DNA sequence: CTTGACCTTCCAGTAACTGGAAACACTAGA
DNA sequence: TCTAGTGTTTCCAGTTACTGGAAGGTCAAG
């Protein structure tokens, strides 16, 4: 399989597949006589794994770790669970921040008249308690 | 005010204050005879404005835009509202994604036994429908 | 044989800083 | 006055995870 075929099969851009190969996240593929990268099904599976793990918020380094666990005959699900739980906690924290940000901004947008007059609660709230910028 | 004083007053790292000055997000400060940056209260106000806008999810370029609107005598709150509303929409979208991600991952973590056995729903769900990696 | 799609490498850029090195400046204590 | 310690300067490099583009080689169809 050439790179574009494997990229499509894995649901990733060609550039990204090349990048993952370059950084050794997936093994370096074989090469055709012309130097084209040649991937097999195992590469597709690994790339799918990586894509989905990335969608789950795992960093590339964590993907590397997960791939390692996955391939390790002695992998323990405890290791995977620990990593996933840590990630989950971070996601929850991000959610809380995003929620408060959303609420506050929504409140401000609502309070903003949106006409041509210079009064604007958004700007006021960003720059206040100094009596103007 | 030296840079560390203004940084503390604005609630930003020194490096970041220097960076904001370098990229012209806030005006280049005056210099002491020794070449030290010398900030005034107006700089502190602008840095506070930027810090808070950044916390609201505005990009540095949007901060630049907002600062411009803020300082423009003819600024209209409609412009600010438009920018904030756009941002708000993006935040809501991010929230939805984060929510589904959170739910799915939480489900998997819960289903994962977390013992030393190699079965792990997390890994299965990331790499499945290929019969193993 | 040409055209167009596909592939290669390499370099640069993104966003928003952050870290570190080398060197100069200022201040407080002995 | 010397010295130690901290603050400041500039500049360069690195971070994350790609993405875009240039210059050029390859392949398959018509």
Helix (H), strand (E), coil (C) string for chain B: CCHHHHHHHHCCCHHHHHHHHHCCCCCCCEECCCCCEECCHHHHHHHHHHHHHHHCCCCHHHHHHHHHHHHCCCCCHHHHHHHHHHHHHHHHHHHHHHHHHHHHHHHHHHHCCCCCCCCCHHHHHHHCCCCCC
Give pLDDT, residue A73. Answer: 43
Q: Largest alpha-carbon pair distance within chain A?
A: 71
pLDDT greater at residue B49 or residue A22? A22
Q: Which nucleotides of C are covered by protein (CB under 7 A)?
A: 6-9, 15-19, 24-26
**Do B27 and B56 fall into the same domain?**
yes
Closest CA to A128 of B35, B53, B105, B128: B53
**Do B40 and B8 fall into the same domain?**
yes
pLDDT digits (tens, 9 = 90+) for A67-107: 876 665 445 667 777 777 777 776 677 677 667 667 766 77
A43 → chain B, closest CA residue: B133
How far from the centroid of its chain's Cα atoms is residue B87's Cα? 12
Q: What's the burial of B36, exposed, middle or buried (CB within 10 Å: 0-12/13-18/19+)? A: exposed
Tell me whether residue A132 is in a domain. no
pLDDT digits (tens, 9 = 90+) for A32-60: 999 999 999 999 989 988 888 787 677 89
Q: Which H or E run contains A38?
A: strand A37-38
Tell me whether residue A66 is in a domain. yes
DSSP A2: -
Give pLDDT, residue A103. Answer: 74
Closest CA to B54 of A118, A97, A117, A114: A97
Beta-strand pair B30-31/A37-38: unpaired
Closest CA to A101 of B58, B70, B13: B58
B32 to chain A, minimum CA–CA distance in Å? 24
Give pLDDT, residue A20. Answer: 95
Q: How many domains does chain A have?
A: 1
Identify all chain B residues contacting A113, using CB atoms and an 8 Å cutoff: 77, 81
pLDDT < 50: residue spans in chain B: 73-74, 129-133
Identify all chain A residues contacting B93, using CB atoms and an 8 Å cutoff: none
**Do B59 and B98 fall into the same domain?**
no
Tell me whether residue B21 is in a domain. yes
Q: What is the CATH number of the domain that holds B69?
A: 1.10.1660.10
What is the rounded CA–CA span in Å between residue A2 and residue A37?
6
Tell me whether residue A133 is in a domain. no
Identify all chain A residues contacting B59, using CB atoms and an 8 Å cutoff: none
Residues of B from 55 to 94 whose C-beta is within 7 A of strand C: which are they? 59-61
Residue A120 has pLDDT above 80, yes or no: no
User: Which range marks the domain in which residue A22 is found?
Assistant: 3-127
- Residue indicated by tokens 């959303």: A102
């Amino acid at each position: 399989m050439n790179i574009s075929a494997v990229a499509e099969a894995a649901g990733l851009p060609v550039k990204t597949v090349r990048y993952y190969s370059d950084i050794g996240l997936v093994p370096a593929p074989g090469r055709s006589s012309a130097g084209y990268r040649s991937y097999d099904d195992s590469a597709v599976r690994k790339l799918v794994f990586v894509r989905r793990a990335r969608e789950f918020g795992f960093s590339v380094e964590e993907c590397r770790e997960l791939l390692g666990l996955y391939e390790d005959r002695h992998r323990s699900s405890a290791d995977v669970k620990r990593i996933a739980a840590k990630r989950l906690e971070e996601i929850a924290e991000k959610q809380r921040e995003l929620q408060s940000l959303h609420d506050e901004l929504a409140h401000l947008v609502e309070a903003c008249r949106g006409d041509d007059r210079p009064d604007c609660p958004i700007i006021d709230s960003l720059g206040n308690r100094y009596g103007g910028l």
